[in-house]
Structure 1
Amino acid sequence: MKYRREHQNLRIPGPVPCPTEVIDAQTRPLIDHRGQDFGHMLKNLVERLKRIFLTENDVFILTSSGTGALEASLVNTLSPGDKILAVVTGFFGQRYSDMAKALLIDVEELHFEWGRDIDIGILREALATHPDIKAVLVTHNETSTGVTNDLASISRVVKKEFGKLLLVDAVSSLGSVELKTDDWECDVVAAGSQKGLLTPPGLSVISFSESAWRAYEKSSMPKYYNDLGLFRTFMGIGQTAFTPAISLLYALDKSLELILREGLDSFIDMQREQAFMIRSKVRSLGLGLLAEDRCASHSVTAVKVPENVNADDLVDLLLDEYSIVVGRGQGSLKGKLLRVGHIGKVPEQEIQDLVSALSSALTRI
């Protein structure tokens, strides 16, 4: 994969730098989204996405950010007043919970310290204490803290022990972190195009299990644009329910080709090795990391700064003086850390440039 680097070393956890071939694919002439050529492309896209999700479940492509797919996970499986458990380990887990509250769902929140992963024993206790819970919301990879939650173990509790619906935010894990949708019995998995799928922002993808469809039949939540029943009907005739972002679908088509040509396992292993390299180099500067190694993300690393340093000032300096873009801390971590994204193939020189710039900037802040 070749990347076109203009002026900035973009090291945020999304959107990520896209391969040149993916960017160029968007320049193809548009086609009729109700025609046969589009139908063939859509069918191939869904078949290849299933290989990324590792699922035989239905998969749909929505024209929205990943947030649209997350809302779809709720409005298609739940009704106002349903009780759910939202497991919160950071900013995006809280946002998933807040989204459910806005839909008048009865949300029981289970909080863990930001920078820690989900304690399976505490999760089990929460489900035993609240037998009326219908579904559990989990953020697989918490982008705000650089923590990957153990989804396999979570599933064993949620599905095998308690038989609840498992709804998964995989926005920053799909394509970057091991995610076995079917083996782990994930009922709904939602993600966006702009991270591990190496595609510009604007598309979201969602997988939907048979258990999720049974929940759909009972759901009374108002929905139209995100009604997956409509999408399933139109998929039957090779179409999307509404006008799609055709140019972005071209880009996704190319990115999936590149990822699967390399092999999903190899693609994830490459990102794991990059993450290890970045963590090692950051530690060599004397900086600490928020997440423990055992649960550290392959897609983003949260770097703690010295107590006398405002992390936002450091982020600004890296951009202004070194043309390197890293993410800021979010929520309660604002000003306390910076977030380094390493999704997709990161040239080793860019990693070294980042570390050198960080070392220099720390002496100037």
Structure 2
Amino acid sequence: MSIICRADISKSTNFNLQHNITIFKDGKLVFMSVSGKGEARYEVPMAKSSHTGDYQCAVEAGGKMKHSDSLHVWVTGMTKPILIAEKKEVFEGEVVKLRCELPEEEPPLYFIFQKMKMNSTPKQKLQRELHRNFSVTEFPIEEGDNILQFDCFGRRNVKFEFENSLPSNKTLITVKEPFIKPTLVIEPSSNITEGKEIRFECQTVVAKMHDIEIILLRNKTILSSVQDQATLKYSAVATLEDSGEYLCKVEKGKASKTTTRNVVVTELFPKPILTASMTELDENKELTLSCSIKDFQNASFSILRKNANRDILLRHSRNLTMRANVNDTGSYICKAEVNRIVKESKPVTIHVYGELIQ
């Protein structure tokens, strides 16, 4: 490609006038010549896309300077980019660092990176570079990624039109699992009656026993966790509140894998009911409090009086009979216990009235 600048200047035939000829591309000096012929030629041996731009020349002669009109030159096509990956093997939860370079192009440039895996739409990242002909980016490695391919291509804007390069070389990345999906074992069963012991064991296989954490949750509430161990064990006496979804989560860095199971706890016995022979009575009258469970007899009962600080135990029995005193006014409850499961009745309020003094 040749950029030619000619100066048409009137002069005497006997006078050799020197011309200072300067050629600019996008306002930057690319060529300069001093000639007595009034012509200069800027030779480009092999045109590249980086030679695209607006060219203009200026001629100075005899103390005068003139500028030519601007000439736009578009060299189509772009060089093929080069893609380099920092590592060829990564673990789930890590990132792949990539560098894409267009060696013979000039900024500003766009770089489009692509992450590809089998039977999946490629994921793209676009980076704009204003001052360099390369770009770097990172792609997170997610659960399920195994063998990945990456490539990139360049893009430039010429007179409000975009032009893309050919795709770069493809880079293959192998993904290794830092640990396997955990197993969650529930014993004796995931269907259990309250009062029985229920045991959980969450286990995984780890490539490197470092910075790994196992967490057991019930309905998103953390029950237990261990660090730098491959097994978590947890046990409890089953209650109705223990019904729900249990989740075993294994985490290492940004990698995470989970297993869920549902537990159903069947009611062993309903809440007890406290009844009073009278809820309003005069002082010195007899008051009987009785605690019972519908269709259930084999329980240990306690009758208590509610107190602001803590409940006051009155008797370990299902029945309590006493001679009422004004000071006995208050709220009473009963509790029933079976197989270490304790349930509380609704409170019953008793009012005891003193004798009138004549």
TM-score for both structures, normalised by structure 2 = 0.18
TM-score for both structures, normalised by structure 1 = 0.17
